[in-house]
Structure 1
Amino acid sequence: MTAHRRLTILTLLNAAYTYTLHEVDLKKDLQAHAQAIGTDGLRADLQWLHEQGLILAKQPDGVWFATLIAKGGDVQAGLSTVPGVARPEPGSL
């Protein structure tokens, strides 16, 4: 479940106009995808994705923003893999 949620986060960031979303928007979008998560859990996922070099996670003034970077885009598209992030299903791209 965690691996699928992380893939969903990457997918949501990929679909965002600037490849960046605020944590509140991510929580709302995850809930819409039947993957509701609390703030602490989301922040843990964002920190983990940041440590893997898939996103930039910034915390100005205590709020979190996440930005997809090239490696994260490759994982989201199924062009590369990272243990802990699910691979996209065939035909879902």
Structure 2
Amino acid sequence: MDYNAFMTAHRRLTILQLLNAASAYTLHELDLKNVLAAHGQVASTDQLRSDLQWLHEQGLVLAKQPDGVWFATLTARGGDVQQGLSTVPGVARPEPI
């Protein structure tokens, strides 16, 4: 796996974990972007939106764009992936605790 694919997979896992910890399992894209940066995973708006769209296509999040503003909500499948109960190629597996 090359470095960009590695970073993308870990960023996607972090997005799922952040949504799992959020109220109502939902976050605004700016909140996601800021918290990702605080976790050392700086992402451009295009990268974040691409990840959200990809995660939506995999059924891991519901990505909505009312008036051009993105919101993401964790699905049950996404919750399983962020816990390590299921795997999806393109999303890193969480480290054991």
Partner of 1:50: 56
1:37 to 40, 43, 49: 43
CA distance in 1, matches of 2:56, 2:23: 20
Partner of 1:66: 72
Q: Which amino acid aligns with 1:69?
A: T
Relative to the length of structure 2, the TM-score reads 0.93
Unpaired segments ≥5 residues, structure 1: none
Partner of 1:17: 23
Runs of 4+ aligned residues of structure 1 deviating over 3 Å after TM superposition are none
Relative to the length of structure 1, the TM-score reads 0.97
Secondary structure, aligned partner of 2:27: strand
1:3 matches 2:3: no
Work out the percentage of aligned pairs sharing the same amino acid.
Answer: 80
Query: Counting helix residues as a fraction of each chain, which structure ranks higher?
Result: 2
Unpaired segments ≥5 residues, structure 2: 1-6
Alignment length (residue pairs): 91
